[in-house]
Amino acid sequence: MTERVYLHVGLLKTATTFLQDALWLHKADLGERGLLLPGRHRRRHLIASLDLRADPKLARRSGDVAHPWQDLVDEILAWPGPAAVISHEFFAPAAEEHIRRAVDSLHGVEVHVVITARVLTELAPSLWQEWVKNGGKRDIDSYLAPAPPDPHDEWGWSAFDLADVLHRWGAVVPHERIHVLPMRVDHGRRSEIWERFLGTLGIDGTGLVPPDEAANVSLGVVQVESLRRINSELVDFNTAGDRSHWIRSYLAHGGVMPPGRERFRPGESCWEQLVRRAREAIRLLETEGFDVRGDLAALRPPDELPDVRHPAEVTDAELLDVAVGTIAAMLADVRSRHDANEALRRELRIVAKPSPRVGFAGKLSRWGKVRS
């Protein structure tokens, strides 16, 4: 019988995709070691997060969306092993009533919460960039302006403000069962993050090698500001599929936009707000009995505003350079795709061409006789 359930609730931009890739890669091996990863595929955890939070966006999702959260719960309750894990960053903004529903639905199974975290002053600009890659149109300061808690906003403060997440989840789950894994942005230490994560779940990770991580495509300040302005013109790219396929995968990650890695910052007032909230999270972790698995110093914000540009400081000439380079690369790509399509059409015409019915020079007359 399942004794413990671990809910890995994020935060956004804290190696969640990497950890989920590793979990699903080793689903069978983890099961043999007593840890269930429920669901037919990883999308079920995303859909279950919408269900648990009573998010109206669930109705617009394709496939089986009847009761995805309860499906995971039923599988967990039937599991003969000692533990199970559910992982998706969209659980983080859940309201207290949703968190209580999650705990109650698990019928007395010991619920643990795992939070992977980064210092807020680094996470917030990175998150704004990711939001823009997914079709976001607001500038960095309006995006990061504090807003009332909204459990249906997976990209808002409720999803990335560690102090707020600790308050809501800590109101329902005992603090000693809320495990916080501080981390720094260091791609060379991903194996260490994976091992620390498995250790938190009570799993010996021997032999469970994480997958090679795909290169993280980060945009520089000029590129992300260009993309944000392009998004404002994409009036009919409204579905999650359109935003993911065309804006994120093609424009931002597809190699058509000229590369750039220049870091950026929010405005001074936004920066001060991020520092205050980061320090509040540190205070909670130091005084409220949460289980910190790692170096708490990784979550401490710097004292000074970093010496990098704000997106509003990008010049029109820089935006024009990116636009020209992007248009040229897109035109070359369109030509390449057109040529490939034409070659495919020629192949299909050859295959579809009818074979001659007579294998010699004569022709059949109307009455079936050969005439020359």
Both tokens of residue 26? 């080793």
Entry pTM: 0.88
Locate 229 and state its tokens. Answer: 């302005």
Question: In the block, which residue shows the tokens 């979990």?
Answer: 23
User: What's the pLDDT at 372?
Assistant: 40
| Cβ atoms of residues 210 and 38 within 8 Å | no
Residue 11's closest CA among 177, 187, 172, 158?
A: 158
Phi and psi at 34, nearest 5°, equal: 95, 0
**Which two tokens mark 212?**
């090679």
What local confidence, expressed as pLDDT, does residue 191 receive?
86
Residue 110: predicted pLDDT: 98
pLDDT of residue 370: 43
Q: What is the CB-side half-sphere exposure of residue 187 using CA atoms within 13 A?
A: 7
Q: What angle do CA 337, 342, 345 make, to 5 degrees?
A: 125
Instruction: Please give the DSSP secondary-structure letter assigned to residue 182.
Output: E
C-alpha 5 chain-centroid distance: 22
The two beta strands, 178-182 and 291-292, are: parallel
**4-214+267-301: what CATH class?**
alpha beta
Helix/strand/coil for 173:
coil
Report residue 96 as tokens: 């207290």
- CA–CA dist 232, 226 (Å, integer): 10
Residues with Cβ within 8 Å of residue 299, at least 6 apart in sequence? 117, 118, 119, 120, 162, 182, 278, 281, 282, 285
pLDDT of residue 206: 95
What local confidence, expressed as pLDDT, does residue 186 receive? 67
Rounded distance between C-alpha atoms, residue 286 and residue 359, angstroms: 89
Distance CA 220, CA 211 (A): 27
How far apart CA 155 and CA 169 sit, in angstroms, is 18
pLDDT tens-place values along the chain, 372 residues long: 799 999 999 999 999 999 999 999 999 999 999 999 999 999 999 999 999 999 999 888 877 788 999 999 999 999 999 999 999 999 999 999 999 999 999 998 999 999 999 999 999 999 999 999 999 999 999 999 988 889 999 999 999 999 999 999 999 999 999 999 999 876 557 889 999 999 999 999 999 999 886 556 789 999 999 999 999 999 899 888 899 999 999 999 999 999 999 999 999 999 999 999 999 999 999 999 999 999 999 999 998 999 999 999 999 999 999 999 999 999 999 999 999 999 999 988 888 777 666 554 444 444 444 444
**DSSP conformation class of 309:** B
pLDDT score for 76 = 98
Domain extents for the chain?
4-214+267-301
